[in-house]
Structures are given as structure tokens and as C-alpha cells.
Amino acid sequence: MNNATTSTPRRTVIPFGPQHPVLPEPLHLRLVLEDEKVVEAQPAVGYIHRGIEKLAEVKDFQQNVFLLEHVCGICSFIHALAYCQGIEELMGVEVPARARYLRVVWSELNRLHSHLLWLGLLADAFGFESLFMQIWRARERVLDLEEQTAGARIMLSTCTIGGVRRDLSAEQVGQVLRGLDELEREFDMFVPVVIKDATVKERLCGVGVLTQRQAQELGAVGPVARASGIARDLRVTGYAAYGELGVNPVIETDGDCYARTLVRVRELYQSLLLLRKALRHMPDSPIAVAVKGKPEGEVVMRVEQPRGEVMYYLKANGTATLERVRVRTPTFANLPALLAILPGCELADVPVITLSIDPCVSCTER
């Protein structure tokens, strides 16, 4: 008699992406829903696969700096940094101290702009348009700083093998420091909202919980892992000038979207701190050493991107071109975690949860 209620009801199947306004990037999720509750999420990628790893085997190892910078437009500098550090380790190049500090400066500027961008997109995903505007307004200050120091807003192209390509004058350092002060004042305009607003918390707290165990087993990295209580931040290993500056990983334990937001918000302040420290204590030295010869051997280089650990595996054979360039980006590592936390949430939470791992599809697919 009750066959209508006992038989399994038909489910809603939705293509979420690739052309979708909530993510500027083409990620396709096949969502299966029951009354707006997600029961299954399966991703399809490859909409943005450019074959960079193959291209990097064609271009010479110097050109690769610029190519690999284009793996991702958001953390462009850090990609170049990871690659350059890898080649430097292969060739045994000692990078001058000032260059190492400058690398920290640009890395942290990249991190600031990436986190702000992400915060804005998150605000947009839960429909808080004016918060998005406010955050991106602050982000423009970071972009201005990048343009002032590197000559471009997005593709800094300042990292090179053996050092950096641009130096900062004392005046520029002063400008950046002043810019950072202004930026901090801008933070006060929106950070309390992100942390305290009731509607924001309603959308973030308890949503998409990733337990510490899950995070460990699924290999989550970056803020996703740190929000689940795993202290994993590669800046601790002290590459570039981080060893001198000292970094303590920012940790939250709840593992929900709110915790991930908090981690990134706190990292904004951490970046400010690191930037000020780096700018104030920047030693005087040349900014680059000349690089002679060709790389040979294999190396794995890891650095901390805004989204987490990026891993470069480089294999060189003594010629100008490399034999293998392998890029494992943080989003690729966080995708399994995303797929684990999507089922059970509501459709309205899908954009929020998806964004909470700060997906960079462009990175993921290379």
C-alpha cells in the first residue's frame, strides 16, 4: 500500500559547473540530491588542463620560471619560487640573503592577496555581496603594493633562478610598510564581520566538518589541514628567509568552514607580521647570483602556498631542458577531503564548502 513511500525516491541530479557563476573556474561536480540534501558528489576535471608538465619539458629551464608562474594566477610568485628553489638545490646555488627576504615579501603579498580574494569569494558564495566588495576593496591595496614593487598586479615575474629580478629601494620599503598599515586598518572594516556576524556564522559553523583523522588520512594540506587541528605549515621548515623570521602554524580544531575561515583570517595577520619583519630586517646584499651550467639530478621541493603545500619534483639530465617537471598543487591534495565532506550537506552549502578548501582548479589540472 505504501509503495510510494517505501520505494527509493527519484533523486535530483545537477551539473554544478563548469560554467557556473559561483566559481570563476570550471570545476564540474555531478551532484545527486535528495530534497536539496547532497547524497553524492563526483567531480569531473580537465576543463582547464593545459599540459604544463609536458610544456615544461620542452621549454628550457630558465623559461620554465615564467611558464610555471602561469600554473596559477593567484599564487603565481610562489610557484615560481618553488621551481627556482628546486633548480637552485639541483645546481647548488646559494641565494643571497636579500633575495631570500624579498622572496618572503612577495610570497606573503601573494598570500595576502590570495586569502583576501578567497574571503571575498566566500562572502559572495553565501550571498554577502557587500562584504565581498569590502574585502576586494582591501585586496586592491595588496595588488597596488605588488604593482609598486614588482611591476605587475598578478604575474609578478620577479623570481629567478639564483635570486630575484627586482630590488626594493628604501623608499619603496617605506611605501610598502605604510601600505601595510593602511591594509590593517582596512582589515578592521571586515574581519569582525567575518568572525562575529550571526548570519555568516549560521552559514559557516558546523558546515562541512572535516575531522582531524579524515584530514590526516585524506592528505589534506594547508589551511584545510590546519583548521582540522593538524599543524602542517611548510614555512616552519625555514625555506627562503622563513627560518630567520620564524613561523608558527595557525591552528583551529573544529574542522568546519568557520574554522577554515578563521585560519585564513588569522593568517592574514600573520602575513602582515611576517611582511613587516622581513621588510625591517632585510639585509643588504646582491639580489641574485649568476647561474652557470645546467641542472642535473632529481629533487623534490616543497613550499607553502596560500592553499597549502605545493610540491615540485624536478628531474634534470644536464641539458637545458628538464626531463620531468611534476607539480602537485595543494588543491589536488585537498580535493579528496572536499569530496568526503560534501555528502550530507545542503545544496546551498555546496558553494560554501567547495570554496572553503579554496579550490584552485587551474592549479589542480595544470
Partner 1 sequence: MLHNVTEVSAESLRDTIAARFPQGYRFITLTCVDGGATWELLYHFDRNYELSHVRVRVPKGAVVPSISGIYACAALVENEVQDLFGVTFEGLTVNYERRFMLAVEAPLAPMVRTPVAQAAARAGEMRM
Partner 2 sequence: MIFPFLKTLFLSLRRGPATRRYPRVVRTPFPGTRGHLVNDAGKCIFCGVCARRCPAGALVVTRTPAHWTLDPYRCIVCGYCVEVCPKKSLRMEPWHRRESGGARGQG
Partner 3 sequence: MGTVMALFFVVVVAPLVGLVLNGADRVVTARLQGRVGPPLLQPLYDLVKLWRKEPLVVNRVQIGYVYLHLAFMVMTLVLLALGGDMVLALFAHAFSALSLVIGASSVRSPFSRIGAQRKIMQMLAYEPVFILLVVGIYLRTGSFMASAVGRLDAPLIVSLPLVFLAYLVALEIKLEKSPFDVATSHHAHQELVKGVTLEYAGPYLALIEVAHFYETFLLLGIVAAFFVRQIWLGVGVALVVYAGAIVVDNVCARLRTTWMVRCLWTVPVMLAVCNIIWLYVRRTQGG
Q: Which does 126 bind (CB under 5 to 8 A by kind): partner 1, partner 2, partner 3, none?
A: partner 3
Footprint (CB under 8 A) of partner 1, residues 334-353 = 335-337
Candidates 25, 53, 57, 346: give the one binding partner 3 (CB under 8 A).
Answer: 346
- Given the rule CB under 8 A, which of 2-10, 16-24, 173-181, 301-309 is the region that contacts partner 3? 16-24
Chosen from partner 1, partner 2, partner 3, none, partner binding at 231 (C-beta under 5 to 8 Å by type): none
CB 358 within 8 A of CB 121: no
Counting contacts by CB under 8 A, is residue 324 touching partner 3?
A: no
- By CB atoms closer than 10 A (0-12, 13-18, 19+), residue 38 is buried
180 to 199: interface string for partner 3, x by CB under 8 A:
-----------------x-x
With CB under 5 to 8 Å by kind, the binding choice for 63 among partner 2, partner 1, partner 3, none is: partner 2
Task: State which of residues 74, 81, 117, 131 lies at the interface with partner 2 (CB under 8 A).
Answer: 131
> Which residues, 6+ apart, have CB-to-CB distance to 215 below 8 Å?
224, 225, 228, 229, 230, 255, 337
State which amino acid sits at residue 4. Answer: A
Dihedral of the alpha carbons of 88, 93, 94, 98, in degrees to the nearest 10: -60
Contact positions with partner 2 (CB under 8 A) in 148-167? 148, 151-152, 155, 157, 165-166
Residue count at the site for partner 2 (CB under 8 A)?
29
Q: In angstroms, what is the minimal distance from the CB of 41 to partner 2?
A: 31
Question: Closest Cα partner for 297 from 276, 270, 324, 275?
Answer: 324
Q: Which of 257, 271, 340, 276 is nearest to 304 (CA)?
A: 271
The 130-169 site mask, x for binding partner 3 (CB under 8 A), equals xx-xx--x--------------------------------
Q: Which stretch binds partner 3 (CB under 8 A): 7-15, 104-112, 155-163, 275-283?
A: 7-15
Q: According to the binding rule CB under 8 A, does residue 216 interact with partner 1?
A: yes
**Buried-exposed string 146-159: b where 16+ CB fall within 10 A, e elsewhere:** beebbeeebbbbbb
Q: Is residue 94 within 8 Å of residue 289, measured between CB atoms?
A: yes
Cβ distance 191 to 269 under 8 Å? no
Single out the residue of 56, 80, 91, 125 in contact with partner 3 (rule: CB under 8 A): 125
Binding pattern to partner 2, positions 48-67, x when CB under 8 A? Answer: -----------x--xxxxxx
Told to check if 209 binds partner 2 by CB under 8 A, we report no
Residue given cell 588542463 in the structure block: 49
Q: Which partner from the list partner 3, partner 2, partner 1, none does 296 bind, CB cut-off 5 to 8 Å by kind?
A: none
Q: Which residues bind partner 3 (CB under 8 A)?
A: 12-16, 20-22, 36, 123-131, 133-134, 137, 197, 199-200, 202-203, 346-351
